[in-house]
Amino acid sequence: MSVDIRLASSRPAGADLYHGENPGNIVTPGDIITADTGFMRGHGTYMDDECLHASVAGTVERVNKLISVRPLKTRYNGEIGDVVIGRIRELAQKRWKVETHSRMDSVLMLSSVNLPGGELRRRSEEDEKMMRHYLKEGDLISAEVQNVMSDGCLSLHTRSLKYGKLGQGSLVCVSPSLVLRRKTHFHNLPIGASIILGNNGYIWISPTVQDKSEESGGYETNLQPVSKSDREVIARLRNCVLALAECKMLLFDTCIIYTYEASLKYPVKDLLKPEVVVEVVDLVRQRLELEGS
Amino acid sequence: MGDAGLSEAEKTFILHSVQDDFREDGRGNEDFRHMELETSLISNTNGSARVRLANTDVLVGVKVQLTPVDPERPEVGRLEFFIDCSANATPAFEGRGGEELGSEISAMLTRAYAFPGAVDFHSLCVLPGQQCWLLYVDVLLLECGGNLFDAVSIAVKAALFNLKIPNVTMTKDEGGVELDLSDDPFDFKRLDVSGAPIIITVNKIGHYHVVDASEKEEECSLARLMLGVTEKGTITAMRKEGSGSLDPNSISDMMEVNTRFLCLPGI
């Protein structure tokens, strides 16, 4: 048993957040970005008194004449093709409502999931009655954004064997802007765990499964106990991801592995302490800089 | 996270992790999360504190006021708890959503502080039979990340420790006694809180007992036992929550876990 209480004043100062970047890039709501009228107004900005102001706190990004502010903390704004993790909220007529940290619940249509028994099967009324058998309230799924409706509501699909219901593991929630967009968001890490970095800021860490059975369509979950060593790896990865998120580092596979390696000298639960977090993340930052990534 | 709850597999994962004495974040069953404490941060209260326990964030302010004494107990001061569940914490608190939880917490605190040794209630009496101090303890829940009761009780104790009660001078004039509050900010007395209880919650998950459960773990636990305990080991209040039942053996086991935390460093 252990209890660890300390004063807020003794919190380690931490490395500076804007390390290596031009701090002039960071704005808070109401800040004037530019008084030059030659620019176009993008997301996160507004015009007032001939000046372009920021409406959110974040970093200024410029593409040619378009200026937008990318918020640090935000709800998830979906884009077609994104990998997301979501939790089933409710069942409706031929669809599931999924919570994806978006402004509105996303929709997963019965017609856009893989049902057991082959891809090209007709969906019958029978399937509609069986919906809760496939996915019920509370279940976690990985999916891809198929379409963004005009009101910002996302429509998802899981028509690939890599998507579908998630089994045992640990869900970590971070800000969506911290997940780096990559070619692949599914990683089987060499340390014996798999990680899915959802673009919506939900990160799923689970033990690596060797063979995914295709007959059941991935709707059967394995409820056997996870071995202690796997559990340790998952817990360490979870704490590493949270440590990186706390220091506002972008998340991708390499930096997570580096953090994992840098953290190995501490017991897993020590990674909850702020001074250890700062030290480990500083090491990772140096290593990333050294390798020029 | 949404209130849809956890999936079957996640619950199994947590259940097994408690069995292994290696929880989701690497803690053992009897480990607390890292806690951060800050005192005297609101200048217009007489005492204030903020506790951040992982994601749980609690702010407490204490205001003192002179009031006529309770005629039934004319020689003691009083404590009053009020919990404000801010809708910032979770959307479920919007409107009157947090009221039930708020009254549960304040009832638990009132009960825990009701025993005579909790704070020196006699020192809170200014003029026996006439005037006493009434301490308004206002708790604001800023964020909920599990183990709310413990965090609130620690924040309340810290705020009472931080409390500065202005000294009062009494002058007798014709017809009665006149009370004069000192204007000098350094002319105050402190309250002795060494006997003040804190609440420790023990969750029963599977067959095991877990302290400082995260929100996810709380969802997996069927029953929890909250005890108000003091440094000396006095149990001042007890409360059981959750739908599950507890058999007498596990209650005494849980109490044992509880009292093991008495060596908590005094704040």
Please report whether residue A28 resides in a domain: yes
pLDDT, one tens digit per residue, over A163-206 is: 888 888 999 999 998 998 888 999 998 888 999 999 999 999 99
Q: Is A60 on the interface with B (CB under 8 A)?
A: no
Nearest CA in chain A to B266: A5
Q: Give me the tens of pLDDT residue by residue for chain B, a chain 267 residues long.
A: 344 578 888 899 999 999 888 888 888 888 888 888 888 889 899 999 999 988 899 999 999 988 888 888 888 888 899 999 888 888 888 888 888 888 999 999 999 988 888 888 888 888 888 888 899 999 999 988 888 999 999 999 999 998 888 888 888 877 777 788 877 778 888 888 888 888 888 888 888 888 888 888 888 888 888 888 888 878 888 888 888 888 888 888 877 777 766 555 444
Query: Within 13 Å, how many C-alpha atoms sit on residue A244's CB side?
Result: 33
| Buried/exposed A104-129: b ≥16 CB within 10 Å, e otherwise | ebbbbebebbbbbeeeeeeeeeebee
Evaluate whether residue A54 is within a structural domain: yes
DSSP 3-state of A128: helix
**Cβ contact, residue pair B52, A8, below 8 Å:** yes
* Sheet strand arrangement including A66-71: A26-27, A58-63, A66-71, A40-41
Distance of alpha carbon A213 from alpha carbon A205, whole angstroms:
20
CATH code for position A57: 2.40.50.100
* Residue A214 in domain: no
Contact B265 A274 (CB under 8 A): no
> Which residue among B22, B30, B31 sits closest to A231, beta carbon to beta carbon?
B22
If one counts the domains in chain A, the total is 1
Q: Is A24 within the bounds of a domain?
A: yes
Q: By C-alpha distance, which of A285, A287, A281, A289 is closest to A12?
A: A281
Residue A41 located in a structural domain: yes
Residue A174 lies in a domain: no
Cα-based angle A120, A123, A125 (whole degrees, multiple of 5): 165
- CA B147 – CA B72 distance, rounded (Å): 36
Where are the CATH 3.30.230.70 domain residues in chain B?
A: 1-30+197-267, 32-193
Q: How far is A135 from chain B (nearest CA, A)?
A: 10
Q: Give the dihedral of Cα atoms A127, A128, A133, A139; nearest 10 deg.
A: 120
Please, what CATH class does the domain formed by B1-30+197-267 belong to? alpha beta
Spatial distance between the Cα atoms of A135 and A110, rounded to a whole number of angstroms:
10
What class is the B32-193 domain?
alpha beta
If interface means Cβ-Cβ distance under 8 Å, which residues of chain B face chain A? 1-2, 4-10, 12-13, 16-17, 19-20, 22-28, 30-38, 50, 52, 54, 154, 211, 260-261, 264-265, 267
Q: Which residue out of B20, B22, B29, B36 would a mutagenesis test of the A interface target, given it has the greatest number of A Cβ atoms within 10 Å?
A: B36
Q: How far is the CA of B116 from the CAs of B24, B192, B219, in angstroms?
A: 40, 13, 35
Contact A87 B2 (CB under 8 A): yes
Q: How far is A66 from chain B (nearest CA, A)?
A: 34
Please report residues of A whose CB lies closer than 8 A to that of B2. 87, 89, 99
pLDDT per residue as tens digits for the range A16-61: 544 455 555 788 899 888 888 888 898 889 988 888 999 999 888 8
pTM: 0.86
Which residue range is the domain that position A41 belongs to?
8-71
Q: Is residue A130 part of a domain?
A: no
How large is the ipTM?
Answer: 0.85
Distance CA B120, CA A251 (A): 52
- Strand ranges for chain A from DSSP E: 2-7, 26-27, 32-34, 40-41, 45-48, 51-54, 58-63, 66-71, 83-92, 95-99, 106-113, 140-148, 154-158, 164-165, 170-173, 186-189, 193-197, 202-207
Residues of A in Cβ contact (< 8 Å) with B36: 5-8, 11
Evaluate whether residue A33 is within a structural domain. yes
